[in-house]
Structure 1
């Protein structure tokens, strides 16, 4: 039984293995992202949250996903370039993952178990679903894609 996200390893956008235990003691906002989505402008708000609160221990982790309307068709290299050129993203970005289905990344299976969506649904419904994780690696809350980064800032500040 996994009791925190620190049990998982993921690949960064360059393909390097990153143990999530590297983020012990940090407050995390884990987001499945896409470059061609109506919610894509949330990158700006996510970057602003990261810049504003990183010195207090917030780290935003972006996980590109192409499962919703094929809105993340590019390679990891193309995604990294888009994020840098379009939104000046400086928070960590990771390799493209599936968040639902048989090929779902184990981290996302864990996140969905720990914080269900509307009416107890475990499935991720769309891009820019956000999971707030405390400094001990426990999933505290799940936010819907329509929840803007600005609208969840109070929840983040409460556990920084």
Structure 2
């Protein structure tokens, strides 16, 4: 039996400790994880202008949440790993599914770069895919980290209020 009874918002996973560590206090997830993906997407986006970035793109490897933080210089990496174990299953599953899609997209672009003659046209295709497919997936992952499940539906009343709020912000 686990000697810890970890629950987001309680004890060592209190909102204060999580917030201080730059971990979302309501979900227990840290946006720092997305840095692993933002780096490769930035390289993909620069490829048409700096084709030498292809080597760095090809060297990139997927890393799940625990692997990322285990190897990270993130100051609260142990807390991030511990909190991940207490994240609500639907939220963790949604993040893992979304990140799986990001990984697949990057790997497919790596295969394109590694197996084809690298032309300006290919680099433009790769850049476009990074911008139109991978960036939106990372945005979705960020939303999940902040507690918004992709299938969540909001009521018409909430939607209308959000539209009104958006007009005045």
TM-score strictly above 0.5: no
Q: Which has the higher strand share?
A: 1
Instruction: Return the index of the structure with the highest Cα Rg.
Output: 2
With normalisation by structure 2, the TM-score equals: 0.24
Q: Which has the higher helix share?
A: 2
With normalisation by structure 1, the TM-score equals: 0.25
